[in-house]
Amino acid sequence: MIKINNLHKSYKKNKVLKGLNLTFDHKGILALLGPNGSGKTTLLKCILGLIIPDEGQILFQGKNIKSEFKYRTEIGYLPQIAQFPENLTGNELIDLMRNIKPRTNRAEELIKLFNLENELDKKMGNLSGGNKQKINIVIAMMSDDPFLILDEPSTGLDPLSIRKLKALLTEEKNRGKMIIVTTHIMDLAEDLADKVLFMLDGKIRYNGGMMELLDQEEEDSLENAIANLLENKKKV
């Protein structure tokens, strides 16, 4: 369970998070949505300890994460941009990560799933964007963490791989994990998520079930529902 109390963060004069209060205790997939600059990534980075909030606190399993790092053994993170050291091979990266986070290992299974067997001895600098992203996914998910934070997981993937990713995430959900996904692709969110967290200007605009959102906005697709939310904002 992740509990967030009154979270504030600003960069110089630009306020990015304006007093967030949240509780993630839902087993399943939560789609974190919102336009660029709405504070999605900042929120995720706060949870991961990459960004230190100005105010407020984040409790992970009841404990404040401030200047802690051990709690991250429970979290798998997929960063938005898959940029790896150019001169290391996939194998070396996986080895490095395995040594940092030495838990149940699903690397082989995931490598097979994404057909990466022949790519792992190549230097990262020589891999295509798609393959980098696949390795990114492998690294994020290989230690079988109960929490997963995925920032734009489908970037650069071909349709087949996207399909595999979806299947994988659904499977993980069924195994009782808590997964937070940000994405710009509404179809993906709609297919996967059972809950939606919509952010705008550093505040939460909607936090609830996917179906409830569609009902509330009287739309049949998430894309339109979100568009409505954005329209309303302009009107206000």
The binding site for another protein (CB under 8 A) comprises: 11, 45, 48-52, 67, 69-73, 75, 77, 79, 81-88, 92-93, 95-97, 99-101, 123, 139
Taking the complex as a whole, the smallest distance from the CB of residue 83 to another protein amounts, in Å, to 3
Taking the complex as a whole, the smallest distance from the CB of residue 212 to another protein amounts, in Å, to 31
Nearest residue (CB) to another protein, 38 versus 136: 136
Nearest residue (CB) to another protein, 11 versus 212: 11
Q: Cα 129–131–134 angle (5° rounding)?
A: 110
Nearest residue (CB) to another protein, 119 versus 217: 119
Taking the complex as a whole, the smallest distance from the CB of residue 21 to another protein amounts, in Å, to 21
Report residue 187: phi and psi, to 5°: -60, -40
d(CA 13, CA 183): 27
Taking the complex as a whole, the smallest distance from the CB of residue 46 to another protein amounts, in Å, to 9
